[in-house]
């Protein structure tokens, strides 16, 4: 087996970067589709009010789509925020703290959004 530690450690080729690149695009396409689907329903004839708005999100298929989009948004924002911290925050300790705060922030937001969605 090839040596993969110390000065011989292979630091490229794990495709972490490719995975993030792909995730960023797939989640973006999902969020764009969601935006269009929501826009079409909002623009349907009929006065905008609570009944119409809540009606849009209470359909089971819309709930599932919104659920997928919430997860996509969190994942997408994580990749983007991680890029920002990696580029601009060089002290490792501070960067780790910011990344943890980012994750807590995002997971907290996702929990709240899902709670809103599922009690509808």
Which is nearer to other proteins, 51 or 96 (by Cβ)? 51
| Contacts with other proteins, residue ranges (CB under 8 A) | 25, 28-29, 32, 35, 49-50, 53-54, 57, 77, 80-81, 84, 102, 105-106, 109, 112-113, 116-117, 119-120
* For other proteins, the closer CB: 29 or 96: 29
List C-alpha distances in Å: 61 to 71, 99, 116.
16, 33, 16
Q: Min. distance of Cβ 91 from other proteins in angstroms?
A: 16
> Min. distance of Cβ 1 from other proteins in angstroms?
36
- What is the closest distance, in whole angstroms, from the C-beta atom of residue 120 to other proteins in the complex? 6
**Residues 67/114, Cβ–Cβ less than 8 Å:** yes
70: exposed, middle or buried (Cβ count in 10 Å: 0-12, 13-18, 19+): buried
Give 80's DSSP letter.
H
């Amino acid at each position: 087996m090839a040596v993969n530690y110390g000065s011989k450690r292979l630091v490229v080729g794990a495709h972490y970067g490719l995975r993030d690149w792909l995730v960023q695009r797939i989640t973006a396409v999902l969020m764009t589709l969601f935006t269009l689907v929501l826009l079409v329903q909002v623009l349907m004839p009929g006065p905008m009010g609570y009944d119409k708005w809540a009606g849009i999100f209470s359909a089971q298929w819309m709930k599932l789509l919104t659920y997928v989009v919430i997860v996509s948004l969190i994942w997408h924002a994580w990749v983007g925020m991680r890029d920002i911290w990696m580029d601009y925050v060089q002290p490792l300790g501070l960067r780790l703290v910011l990344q943890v705060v980012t994750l807590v922030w995002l997971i907290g937001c996702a929990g709240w959004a899902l709670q809103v969605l599922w009690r509808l």
